[in-house]
Amino acid sequence: MEKFMDQNFLLPTLTAKWLYHEVAEEMPIIDYHCHINPQEIAEDRKFSNISEVWLGGDHYKWRQMRFGGIPEELITGDGDPREKFRAFAAVLPRLIGNPMYHWSHLELKRVFGIEEPLTPENADEVYEKCNEALAQYSARELMRKFHVKAACTTDDPCDSLVWHEKIAADPTMEIKVLPAFRPDKAVNIEKEGFADYICRLSGVAGKEICSTEDVIAALCQRVDYFASHGCLCADHGLDYCMYAEPDKAAADKAFQKAMEGNRPARDEADAYKTMVTVACAKKYAEKNWVMQIHFGCLRDNNKPQFAKLGPDTGYDAVNPQSGAEHVAPLLNAFAENQGLPKVILYSLNPCDNTALVSIAGCFQGGGMVGRVQQGSGWWFNDNRTGMRAQLTELANNGMLGCFVGMLTDSRSFLSYTRHEYFRRILCELIGEWVESGQYPNDKKQLAKLVEDICFHNTNEFFGFGV
């Protein structure tokens, strides 16, 4: 029997052990997609207790606490921090097979030096040990501990980027922290609050917005502003991937309806969203940015809880109608508009893996390595099963060696252990292929593959220059 989560956790073969411990383990991290608040980095936030940094804002943990019957007061409410920690400790032992069990214990090991599993019986002892260890860490010190060399936050086009300016101006901050352009509120016209957001965008851009083309012009202006602050990428979050034939009249009809507070028809909304997305893609291509497209999510399904708590609180799910059939025509529209940027595609629906890899293969070229890629297992797929499936499909139908690797997609400074989890799974899978005779035991080539996937491909693809 293997010891629980020892140094060879998820590394069953000699090749996997060598690849992880001699190659992957010490590679630095570029976290090119996260939801950390840049203000916390700028101010080098200190955390008063483990519950604050571990449970605050982490909707992954919140979902599991709800599964375990924990009252909301101890999840998102004003409950005592120790009681919240006890509540999570009561739930954790039941999460056998869930990546949350592994993530949580990796965080306890790597940051706090806690080797024993967290249980209700030792919750108070672990709570005190964590708080004692946490006193030596700030937000930046946590990033340094995990050898983070660069990170991209997620920023609205209307953001002043003042916190990014403060970080960039700080001579004591050696880690690159860059904004990422997230124009969802201007693109997803069917969402509530669209009209109010467009008014805000108009004020920030300093121009009246009366049509779809005006929205595009305002967004392009903000892209220039973000680029002046070092931005290297954009991220588009869609409930479903859409495509409609270019139709300015339909797009403007949708825009006028939405500005009057009415919900446009699906075909009208898709015309608007396609027109704006295609125009944005061309602007990104001009800037040599990476465009990330996330789709396949059913958001805010529990409306009473959404009304109480707002978005990103644990009430989203996989969309079985992800719109994957529209990915190819959308990318083709980018190409026909002479504006196909570097692209990373993510679907929350794992059934789309083969489609995304094969579609990506249709849009390579331009002298770029892996110009269009399938992204890592996203959200409900960033577990061992989901990551192995994504890596295997990418190897089957694409080029695993040019993959840009893992990201945290997290709001927590402790979540960098997800990179370790990914790297162990990557080494596990490659080790299996080598020891079954599917790939030569060539240490030079194997080391290069793993180093590239863990760090170098991301650095080069985005142009971080670290």
Q: Render pLDDT for 69-124 as a digit per residue (tens, 0 to 9).
A: 999 999 999 999 999 999 999 999 999 999 999 999 999 999 999 999 999 999 99
Backbone φ and ψ of 212, nearest 5°:
-60, -40
pLDDT number for residue 145: 97
Q: Averaged over 128-137, what is the pLDDT?
A: 96
178-191 per-residue burial string, b: 16 or more CB within 10 A, e: under 16: bbbbbbbbbbbbbb
CA 39, 42, 48, 54 torsion-angle sign: positive
Q: What is the mean pLDDT of the chain?
A: 97
How many residues in total does the chain contain? 466
pLDDT number for residue 80: 97
Tell me how crowded residue 460 is: count the other CB atoms within 10 A of its CB: 16
Tell me if 373 sits within 8 A of 405, measured CB to CB. Answer: no
> Tokens 């997290």 appear where?
410
pLDDT digits (tens, 9 = 90+) for 202-252: 999 999 999 999 999 999 999 999 999 999 999 999 999 999 998 999 999
Cα angle for residues 53, 54, 58 (degrees, 5° grid): 105
Cα angle for residues 150, 155, 161 (degrees, 5° grid): 85
Among candidate residues 113, 121, 142, the one with its CA nearest the CA of residue 46: 142
Q: Averaged over 418-438, what is the pLDDT?
A: 98
Cα gap 12→412, rounded to integer Å? 30
- Chain centroid, CA 119 distance in Å: 29
Among candidate residues 414, 415, 407, 443, the one with its CA nearest the CA of residue 427: 443
Cα angle for residues 202, 34, 426 (degrees, 5° grid): 145
pTM over 0.95: yes
In sequence order, the β-bridge partners of residue 368 are: 365
E-strand stretches of 348-457: 372-374
Query: CB neighbours of 456 closer than 8 A, spacing ≥ 6?
Result: none
Tell me if 450 sits within 8 A of 400, measured CB to CB. Answer: no
pLDDT number for residue 360: 98
Both tokens assigned to 461: 């693809």
pLDDT number for residue 43: 98
The DSSP letter of residue 300 is: -
Residue 1 has pLDDT above 90, yes or no: no
In sequence order, the β-bridge partners of residue 317 are: 298
pLDDT digits (tens, 9 = 90+) for 328-347: 999 999 999 999 999 999 99
Provide the residue type at 152 as one letter: C
Both tokens assigned to 293: 């497209």
**Confidence at 57, pLDDT banded by 50, 70, 90:** confident
Cα gap 186→156, rounded to integer Å? 10
pLDDT number for residue 135: 93
Cα gap 369→377, rounded to integer Å? 20
Q: What is the rounded radius of gyration, in angstroms, for the C-alpha atoms of the chain?
A: 22
Among candidate residues 210, 333, 191, the one with its CA nearest the CA of residue 269: 191
- Chain centroid, CA 382 distance in Å: 10
pLDDT number for residue 246: 85
pLDDT digits (tens, 9 = 90+) for 302-322: 999 999 999 999 999 999 999
E-strand stretches of 302-427: 317-318, 342-347, 372-374
121-142 per-residue burial string, b: 16 or more CB within 10 A, e: under 16: eebeebbebbbeebeebbbbeb
Tell me if 281 sits within 8 A of 341, measured CB to CB. Answer: yes
Helix 248-259 to helix 194-205 angle (10° resolution) is 100
Strands 342-347 and 290-295 come out as parallel
Backbone φ and ψ of 20, nearest 5°:
-75, -55
Query: CB neighbours of 436 closer than 8 A, spacing ≥ 6?
Result: none
pLDDT digits (tens, 9 = 90+) for 350-406: 999 999 999 999 999 999 999 999 999 999 999 999 999 999 999 999 999 999 999
Using CA atoms, how far residue 313 sits from 61, 72, 195, 280, in Å, is: 10, 11, 24, 29
Strands 317-318 and 297-298 come out as antiparallel
